[in-house]
Amino acid sequence: MHGHLPHPVSPATFSDAFLSKKGKRRGSYNCRRCGLPKKGHVCHLPPPSSALTPSVSPIHSPSPLSTLRSVKHKPPPSHSNLRRTSTFVADLTDMDSTMLACIAFACPNLESLEIFMCEGSFNRITGDELGRFVADKRCLTTLKMEGCSNLGAFVLCSNTLSTLWLSDLHSLSKMVFNLPNLNEVSLNFSRQENDSTDLTSMMDSLGRSCPKLKNIHIASLHLSHSVVLSLTAAQLRELRMLSLVLGSELTDASVVAISKCYSSLELLDLSGSSISDSGLGMICNVFPDTLTRLLVALCPNITSSGIQFATAQLPLLELMDCGMTICESDAQYPTSEEKGDSELQISPNSKAHLTYQKLFIKHARLKKLSLWGCSSLDSLYLSCPNLSDLNLNSCKNLIPEKLVLQCPMVESVHAIGCKDVLIQAVKTQVSSGYALSEDRYSCKRMADGSKRVGIPFSFTQQVTTNKAVSIYLPDYDKSSWEARKRRRCTVQVE
């Protein structure tokens, strides 16, 4: 029998290799670069180029997808060798059909696509290209895209798409929606007067082809009462959130139409409309048991009386935005000086004669209140135990002596553009409220002086037959109380 033979430097014959392997179960390893024995060997040749490895093609060129960043990857099944990318978020300089085709090719099982445009960038995707992409992606459920001014017209057909956000839309000649499982739609149009989009036909198509809609957001300067009538004719039974923003032609009649068809709304946003206190009264009569968020910012015909009535009649309200409602006329119409002061007195709904107004709000569940730009507000009284966020930006005529904040849970107060004396008054009141909450329990030392315990101000005593005294303390959540003691209010002034 042959013993162990040293590994040959030069290639050996078949017989020599056969005889060398009979003495042991495994042979020695050779260096893949120079062919010398690998044991104790340091190769002097350079490593092979990574571009020539079998996993990467040597003629592969960089893909535009390198500018995309994947933020969510779901692991593939164990039996699959393909990685499944479920969500792509792109922050791009330019977007065109080539980029969209790369995304479609690289992510066959794409479920969510979000495209955000950088400043100065341009989205060149057309409506036909977007329609083909949505139709080909059988797993796509969420599509959010900015800079959609180049669409022109589109036809969207998908059985899986549930969320659709498109912004910067302009002059769409045709819009067809065939999305039976769509739950949420947000369409933001450009703020240009020459926009020729037929919003009535668009709303009619949405109502007929998307019966499962729950959330609708439309922002356009051309929203009118006819658009609302098209929406109400659709009879969307699952609708819970409705936002029609910047429609100056929306009036109290539009509120009546909405109230008759959709009595289960949880959010209603009519910011920028022409509704008045009467419209707010209708909202309070129809939605007292469901409405939790009401946004009526930039509504010039609403007064402090209507806001007070709404907060009193909507017990479930948690968020209310009344920005730029109680404000001076010149704040809403910058060209009023050119028109003359006499013209401001013509309209009966104009609030030019209401120099200053007072607002009193007492609500048990309100958490966020926005009064930004209410320059005609001089007195404010808030008694909201659960209020956490208060926006007083540009409330420049609010008098510090007429400001009362009974909000022990407030965490943030925005006071940008306010006078220094008002800012100081806000800081004083929120800090005093914190001190009062800390002093909720007084401190008392035990009889032997060894331990300090907290005794509430009010407690009951029950004397039993054996002369024993039982003290009943009010129930409270210790964790929530500790969190409340650590809470500090932040007043933002810049």
Q: Give one DSSP letter per residue of 139-197, joined into a string.
A: T--EEEES--TT--EEEEE-SS--EEEEEEE---SEEEEE-TT--EEEEEE---TT---
> Alpha-carbon distance 415 to 40, whole Å?
73
pLDDT averaged over every residue in the chain: 77
Do the bridges between strand 357-362 and strand 377-383 make them parallel or antiparallel, or are there none, so unpaired?
Answer: parallel
Q: What average pLDDT does this structure show over 459-486?
A: 45
Give pLDDT, residue 106. Answer: 87
Q: How many CB atoms lie within 10 A of CB 397?
A: 19
Indicate if the pLDDT at residue 489 is higher than 60. Answer: yes
Query: Mapping DSSP to helix (H, G, I), strand (E, B) and coil, where does residue 100 land?
Result: helix
pLDDT band at 90 (very low <50, low <70, confident <90, very high): low
Q: Give one DSSP letter per residue of 323-371, joined into a string.
A: TTTS--HHHH-TTHHHH-TGGGGTSTT--TT---EEEEEE-SS--EEE-
Q: Which residue has 């409705």 as its token pair?
A: 242
Report the percentage of the chain scoring pLDDT > 70: 68
Q: What average pLDDT does this structure show over 437-444?
A: 46
DSSP state of 4: P
Residue 204 CA neighbour count, 13 Å, CB half: 8
Give pLDDT, residue 71. Answer: 34
Give pLDDT, residue 50. Answer: 38
Q: Looking only at Cα atoms, what is the longest distance across the chain?
A: 121
The tokens for 471 are: 């003290």
Tell me the domain boundaries of the chain: 1-40, 67-239
Of 37-51, 58-72, 451-465, where does mean pLDDT reach its minimum?
A: 58-72
CA angle 215, 219, 220 (to 5 degrees): 145
Indicate if the pLDDT at residue 15 is higher than 50. Answer: no
Dump pLDDT digits (tens) for 18-48.
444 444 455 566 777 777 777 777 777 766 5
pLDDT band at 58 (very low <50, low <70, confident <90, very high): very low
Do the bridges between strand 84-95 and strand 112-123 make them parallel or antiparallel, or are there none, so unpaired?
Answer: parallel
> Alpha-carbon distance 384 to 47, whole Å?
71
Dump pLDDT digits (tens) for 332-344.
444 433 433 433 3
Give pLDDT, residue 28. Answer: 61
> Alpha-carbon distance 418 to 394, whole Å?
5
* Burial bucket for residue 311 (CB in 10 Å: 0-12, 13-18, 19+): buried
Residue 411 CA neighbour count, 13 Å, CB half: 10
Query: With b meaning 16 or more CB within 10 Å and e meaning fewer, what string describes 343-365?
Result: ebeeeeebbbeeebbebebebee
> Alpha-carbon distance 225 to 232, whole Å?
11
The tokens for 113 are: 């696509």
Indicate if the pLDDT at residue 81 is higher than 90. Answer: no
For the entire predicted model, the pTM comes to 0.71
Q: Which residue has 């085709």 as its token pair?
A: 101
* 3-state helix vs strand vs coil in the chain, percent to 5: 25, 25, 50
Report the percentage of the chain scoring pLDDT > 90: 54
> Alpha-carbon distance 359 to 380, whole Å?
5
Using the Cα atoms of residue 63, residue 65, residue 70 and residue 76 in order, give the sign of their dihedral.
negative
Give pLDDT, residue 431. Answer: 82
> Alpha-carbon distance 115 to 151, whole Å?
15
Dump pLDDT digits (tens) for 292-334.
999 999 999 999 999 999 999 999 999 999 999 998 765 544 4
The candidate with the shortest Cα–Cα distance to 426, out of 411, 443, 413, 440, is 413
Query: Mapping DSSP to helix (H, G, I), strand (E, B) and coil, where does residue 255 land?
Result: helix
> Alpha-carbon distance 209 to 205, whole Å?
6
Q: What average pLDDT does this structure show over 405-425?
A: 93
Question: Which is more confidently placed, 467 or 258?
Answer: 258
**What backbone torsions phi and psi does residue 175 show, to the nearest 5 degrees?**
-140, 115
Q: Could you tell me how many residues make up the chain? A: 494
Question: Which is more confidently placed, 449 or 208?
Answer: 208
Question: Which is more confidently placed, 40 or 260?
Answer: 260
* Burial bucket for residue 371 (CB in 10 Å: 0-12, 13-18, 19+): buried
